[in-house]
Structures are given as C-alpha cells and as structure tokens.
Amino acid sequence: MSTSPVEHAEPVAAEPRRGRPGYDQRGILEVAVGVFNEQGYDAASVAAIAQRLGLGKSALYHHFASKEELLRRALDEALDGLEGALRDALAADVPAGERLQLVLTGAVTVLVERLPYVTLLLRVRGNSIVEREALDRRRAFDQELTRLVREAQQEGTIRADVEAGVATRLLFGMVNSIVEWYRPTGPEDAARLSADVVAIAMGGLRVAQA
C-alpha cells in the first residue's frame, strides 16, 4: 500500500505579546529624574512617574521602595561622579595647580555625561533628610577643593590675592552654570568643553609670568 509523503507545515511565528514596556532599574531612574527636573522633586508624584513609564505604581514599587529612594539613587549618581573626579585628581602626583585643572576637567566631564543627575543635584534645597545628606556631601567637596586652591596659592601656581573660598565658588559657579545652557547635541563634547572651562578659569587665576 503506497503512502503519500507527509507535508510539514511551516511553523507559525508566535505573535508578539502585548504588555507593559520592559524597564530595568536604570531605565526607571532615568525617567524619574526627567520628571523630577521637569516638575520639581516636591511636586512630582510616584503616580506621575509611573504614568510616564506606562506602568502601575505597584510595578514601580517592585523596583524602588519610595520616591525618596529614587531621589537618593539619583543624587548618588551625581555625587559619586564628582567625588570620584576629585579623588582621582588629588591622587595624581603633580603640583597642586595641575591637580586643580584635573578636578575641573573631571567635573565638567561628569556634568556632561550625567547631565540630568547633576541638574537635579544643583536644585536640591535641603527639604528632606536625603537632600540634606546630599548638601553635606557637596559642602565636603567644596571644602576639599578650597584646600586644593589654597595649596596651589601657596606653591605660587595661582594668584593669592583672591581668597581661596571665593575662588572655589567662582570656579564651580562657572562649572555649575553649564547645566543651564549645555545641550548634548551642540557643537562641543565633554573634552572640548572642559578644555574651554580650564582655559578661562585658570587664565584668570594663574600667576602672570614676569
């Protein structure tokens, strides 16, 4: 008895499942920081963040326990980068004036690479424990930088007729102002921008050669 060959049907591809977009912790944090910067941290709600993500609040709480935890993680992202830049510069075996330039270069790089996070950090006003802890870390950063400025003055690298604390505020006033106008799609990348900042800042502070 003859049999005809069995015809094998082509497998049918499964139809993609529809559902919520997949977000990991990093993705959720980036969206939350955007909402904080747009609405202000105090005004922003977990519901607003969840809506932006297309998630329910319960799904958001699966990744982060609270709005405060989101804020803490965001501020850590900015502060860890800035503190790392300072730590690396202080560890360099070069004169204090060159270490100061390294701090400026590193800080501008962190700002460009973590712009939304640093923007949020600079808007912190100390209305919660998390914010006050962040402000304490910023003050410690400024104090360490002031000591470095003073050391550079003592070695004769930068002018000593400007008080070290004032020089520190002026330097980082310039750096911090970048968040107000810098756009990643603009003509300058982090390397070029940091070089410009160092040129202008150190040009005003460097001791003139006779």
pLDDT of residue 58: 86
Mean pLDDT of the chain: 87
Is pLDDT at 187 greater than 60 in this prediction?
yes
Mean pLDDT within 154-178: 92
Residues 6+ apart with CB under 8 A from 116: 30, 33, 34, 37
Each domain of the chain, given as residue ranges in start order, spans 21-65, 68-205
Helices and strands counted in the chain (H then E)? 9, 0
pLDDT of residue 207: 61
What band does 22 get if pLDDT is binned at 50, 70 and 90? low
Task: Tell me which of 7 and 167 has the higher pLDDT.
Answer: 167
The predicted model scores a pTM of 0.83
Residue 37: closest CA among 23, 48, 26: 48
pLDDT tens digits, one per residue of 43-86 = 999 999 999 999 888 888 889 999 999 999 999 999 999 999 99
Residue 50: closest CA among 41, 39, 61, 40: 61
Euclidean distance between CA atoms 38 and 60, whole angstroms: 19
Largest Cα–Cα distance of the chain, in whole Å?
111
Check whether domain 21-65 has CATH 1.10.10.60, yes or no: yes
Is pLDDT at 199 greater than 60 in this prediction?
yes
Euclidean distance between CA atoms 73 and 24, whole angstroms: 14
What band does 18 get if pLDDT is binned at 50, 70 and 90? very low
DSSP 8-state secondary structure symbol assigned to residue 31 = H
Q: And the tokens for 79?
A: 């502060």
Q: Which amino acid is at 25?
A: Q
Is pLDDT at 5 greater than 60 in this prediction?
no
User: What CATH architecture applies to the domain 68-205?
Assistant: Orthogonal Bundle (1.10)
